[in-house]
Structure 1
């Protein structure tokens, strides 16, 4: 790292114009990446953990309805991937997501007008 830093520092200091110095400055991230690459751990093979990469990250839910909606959306996605030709199952999963969204919208509306302004 020290050698790379010294080399780039001397090139930047010896630059005759801002344009040439800017080129050296913009090359810093790539040079650092090249210098650190031998010490990096190997990333996992893309073919082995392909199913895990498709999953969404865990969500933080505030209410039970949000949690149920997240589960329904995960179920819909799984149904569409596993049995895309089973229209009945996909339609059922979509209806479930729609019912939960409608329920959440209705609850938000109730909470908006539930204020006691007296």
Structure 2
């Protein structure tokens, strides 16, 4: 009869050790996964641009648009045609200070800027 209490105590002492092993494995798994998700899908709502890779997200890149911007501030212009990801034409300007701003493709000023920049690329090529 003295064997039974010893068996119970040895069984209960082994159980917390097993729980600690499982917790350790789970924490190591979480530590390994967290760095891979940091920086994915950064969103800058202030400028109206959502900075995500096109193969990760199938949605419009422009949340809100700006209708007027001075052409001297634009370093590069990107035009994204409507498609499966978004049913709107999107015009994204990379400014000289590094920010990305979505422009309203229907605004007359934006149309002029886009035509001048596209004409400049054709003449350079």
TM-score per shorter chain, which class? under 0.3
Higher strand proportion (structure 1 or 2):
2
Which structure features the higher share of helix residues?
1
TM-score (norm 1): 0.22
In the superposition, the TM-score normalised over structure 2's length comes to: 0.21
